[in-house]
């Protein structure tokens, strides 16, 4: 578990300011924490990798742009498309691959320490940051 900065910021945070403070793609920043969960924001474009979180669900909210999430389920593979303002939860144990053809800003809510590439994943290319989140 990451024990750095387990506090919450003392003042409100504008998500637009948070998103404006960095440029890296697929490299989430931790905005605040709720009990043992992180609230993270990320900028994304292009494809992430197929990966799975064995022990946790993963919450996505699209702030700007459009996100597609590929899902490999028992019945086969499908994609869900999330326009701005949409939320979706990838259930634990479901292999998934986020992507965004034209770019998006997203908010993630997941247990502190959750890796962006999950517990099992395809080889990690240079454009994907394998991280448990960076401080703003
Ligand atoms: Ni994931």
User: How many whole angstroms from 98 Cα to the centroid of ligand 1?
Assistant: 8
Q: Which of 106, 117, 105 is nearest to 50 (CA)?
A: 117
Local structure of residue 119 (DSSP, 8 states): S
> For position 51, what pLDDT does the model report?
96
User: How many whole angstroms from 31 Cα to the centroid of ligand 1?
Assistant: 18
User: How many whole angstroms from 128 Cα to the centroid of ligand 1?
Assistant: 12
Mean pLDDT of the chain: 93
Local structure of residue 55 (DSSP, 8 states): S
Q: CA triplet 38, 114, 85: central angle to 5 degrees?
A: 55
Pairing type for strands 37-47 and 51-52 reads unpaired
User: How many whole angstroms from 60 Cα to the centroid of ligand 1?
Assistant: 9
Q: Model confidence over 86-104: pLDDT tens digits?
A: 999 999 999 999 999 999 9
User: How many whole angstroms from 20 Cα to the centroid of ligand 1?
Assistant: 23
CB 71 within 8 A of CB 52: no
Q: Model confidence over 3-44: pLDDT tens digits?
A: 455 578 899 999 999 999 999 999 999 999 999 999 999 999
């Amino acid at each position: 578990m990451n024990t750095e900065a387990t506090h919450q910021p003392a003042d409100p945070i504008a998500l637009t300011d948070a998103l404006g403070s960095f440029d890296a793609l697929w490299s989430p920043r931790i905005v605040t924490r709720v009990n043992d969960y992180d609230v993270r924001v990320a900028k994304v474009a292009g494809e992430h990798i197929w990966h799975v979180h064995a022990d946790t669900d993963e919450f996505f909210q699209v702030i700007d742009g459009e996100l597609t999430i590929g899902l490999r389920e028992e019945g086969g593979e499908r994609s869900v498309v999330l326009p701005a303002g949409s939320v979706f939860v990838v259930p634990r144990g479901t292999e998934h691959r986020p992507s965004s053809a034209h770019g998006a800003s997203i908010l993630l809510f997941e247990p502190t320490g959750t890796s962006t590439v999950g517990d099992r994943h395809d080889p990690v290319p240079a454009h994907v940051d394998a991280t448990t989140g960076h401080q703003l």
